[in-house]
């Protein structure tokens, strides 16, 4: 009751003093509903406006007139900058164009009359301020990959599959079903034997009353976690009428350990040791790819393929519905699965990492102190999402669940190239104003393309 009363007091205080600064949003729309619907040389207009509040919060009002500092960059190498006044009543527009197929990017930040930033607003773990990052596309279907496809790409993966086939599909299951789920579903910590230094591990969830050949199956893959290796949490929700595998990217053991085990595991993965030279997190050093058949991603891809070997072996699987899904690094793994796994029926990558690795814009996202792009070296090109997209059979439908028009960890150019490389039915959800770690609140500006 005390908590309820406190919540009511807080709500009343917010109502009395108006909106919070964090409610104030800087948004922009292109003059075309389709943000990639422009022709070479055609004028592209971005209309900026403030949203989220009916009156300016006190801190913003004190710095009025408000201004927007903006920067335009693009695939043409041209940079333009400016400062414009903005208010709740009146926005402004930026016009630009592009003389070749590609992407134009607009980055903008709300500032006060003295150009001071509103850095007290933190919209995610990487971005501070009232920001907009978005873009537009010009004849993007004519763009070309920067990544040079290795001549032995298909032979490389044929050999990898042959190595994997030498290891029998065996799994160790440890039931960890939470009390509240008992009778509804079963949850297991799973370890699946795999070629390479580590097994494929994760959580397996399925209905308690699953019948033979009755259920679709899916595997979900995780994003990049760098040095942030933490104690895994047992799923506390069911999988519906589905066999679900939630796979960690690293093959660590899921149960029986404390926080220190995962911290030490992460340090080992990243080559961190007392007194050792500082290095980038796993898979980010160019030297990691000197031998692409003995790199971190090689064994991660082995585990991705092995997960589906296991799912297809289950008697409860219906024999036809087999799905891969994940975002960022999970999207990269999803595209590996779509290109490498026979019988996959659907792939759902989001903000897909590793598309067109050779592109110079990769890794230039909301991480000013370091790059999060996969190194542009020949050994890394075997893992390029856009190259794997070319191998996805037409029988596998693909939905790119989110493509951030302002995402420069997984740039829109590369993700679009992965879309255009797909042979079969596909769609992509383009979200204006979305960066890697931020999606504008609903209703956001999403435009879906399909083929």
Region of poorest pLDDT, from 86-90, 120-124, 246-250, 292-296: 120-124
Q: What DSSP state is assigned to residue 370?
A: S
pLDDT band at residue 279 using 50, 70 and 90 as cut-offs: confident
- Show the tokens assigned to 16: 């009395």
pLDDT exceeds 50 at position 384: yes
Mean residue pLDDT across the chain: 92
Q: What pLDDT does 365 receive?
A: 52
pLDDT exceeds 60 at position 342: yes
Domains of the chain: 19-142 (2.60.40.10), 153-450 (3.40.50.1820)
The Cα–Cα gap between 113 and 196 comes to 58
DSSP letter string, 12-69? HHHHHH---GGG-EEEEEESSSSTT-BPTT--EEEEEEEES-SS--HHHHHTPSEEEE
Bridge partners of residue 399, in order along the sequence: 427
Higher pLDDT, 64 or 366: 64
Q: What DSSP state is assigned to residue 383?
A: G
Q: How far is CA 27 from the centre of its chain?
A: 22
Instruction: Please check whether residue 418 is in contact with residue 336, taking contact to mean a CB–CB distance below 8 angstroms.
Output: no
Bridge partners of residue 217, in order along the sequence: 243, 322
The Cα–Cα gap between 267 and 1 comes to 45
> Mind listing the pLDDT tens digit for each residue in 177-221?
999 999 999 999 999 999 999 999 999 999 999 999 999 999 999
Q: What pLDDT does 17 receive?
A: 46
Q: What DSSP state is assigned to residue 381?
A: G
Q: What pLDDT does 228 receive?
A: 76
- Show the tokens assigned to 80: 């333009």
Q: What DSSP state is assigned to residue 207?
A: E
- Show the tokens assigned to 22: 């964090």
Q: What pLDDT does 442 receive?
A: 83
Q: What pLDDT does 3 receive?
A: 37
Bridge partners of residue 450, in order along the sequence: 427
């Amino acid at each position: 009751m005390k908590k309820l009363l406190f919540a009511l007091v807080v709500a009343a205080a917010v109502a009395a003093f108006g909106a919070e600064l964090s409610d104030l949003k800087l948004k922009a729309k292109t003059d075309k509903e389709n943000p990639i619907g422009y022709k070479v040389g055609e004028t592209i207009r971005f209309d900026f406006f403030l949203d989220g509040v009916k009156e300016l919060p006190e801190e913003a009002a004190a710095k009025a007139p408000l201004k927007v500092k903006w920067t335009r960059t693009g695939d043409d190498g041209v940079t333009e900058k400016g400062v414009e006044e903005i208010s709740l009543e009146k926005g402004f527009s930026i016009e630009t164009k592009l003389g070749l197929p590609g992407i134009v990017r607009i980055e903008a930040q709300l500032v006060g009359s003295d150009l001071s930033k509103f850095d007290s607003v933190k919209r995610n773990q990487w971005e501070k301020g009232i920001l907009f990052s978005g873009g537009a596309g010009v004849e993007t279907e004519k763009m070309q990959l920067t990544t040079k496809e290795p001549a032995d790409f298909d032979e490389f993966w044929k050999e990898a599959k042959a190595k994997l086939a030498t290891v029998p599909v065996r799994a160790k299951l440890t039931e960890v079903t939470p009390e509240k789920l008992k009778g509804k579903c079963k949850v297991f910590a799973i370890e699946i034997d795999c070629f390479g230094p580590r097994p494929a591990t994760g959580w397996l969830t399925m209905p308690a009353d699953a019948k033979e050949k009755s259920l679709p199956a899916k595997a979900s893959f995780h994003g990049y976690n760098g040095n942030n290796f933490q104690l895994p949490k047992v799923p506390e929700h069911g999988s519906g009428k589905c066999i679900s595998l939630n796979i960690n990217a690293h093959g660590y053991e899921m149960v029986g350990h404390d926080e220190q085990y995962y911290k030490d595991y992460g340090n080992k993965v990243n080559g961190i040791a007392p007194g050792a030279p500082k290095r980038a997190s796993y898979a980010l050093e160019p030297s990691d790819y000197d031998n692409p058949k003995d790199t971190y991603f090689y064994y991660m891809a082995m585990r991705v393929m092995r997960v589906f070997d296991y799912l297809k072996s289950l008697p409860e699987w219906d024999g036809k519905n087999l799905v891969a899904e994940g975002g960022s690094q999970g999207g990269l793994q999803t595209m590996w699965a779509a290109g490498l796994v026979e019988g996959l029926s659907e792939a759902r990558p989001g903000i897909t990492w590793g598309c067109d690795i050779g592109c110079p814009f990769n890794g230039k996202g909301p991480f000013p102190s370091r790059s999060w792009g996969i190194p542009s070296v020949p050994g890394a090109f075997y893992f390029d999402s856009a190259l794997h997209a070319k191998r996805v059979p037409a029988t596998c439908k693909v939905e790119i669940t989110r493509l951030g028009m302002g995402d420069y960890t997984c740039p829109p150019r590369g993700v679009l190239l992965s879309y255009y490389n797909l042979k079969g039915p596909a769609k992509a959800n383009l979200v204006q104003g979305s960066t890697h770690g931020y999606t504008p609140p609903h209703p956001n500006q999403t435009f879906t393309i399909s083929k």
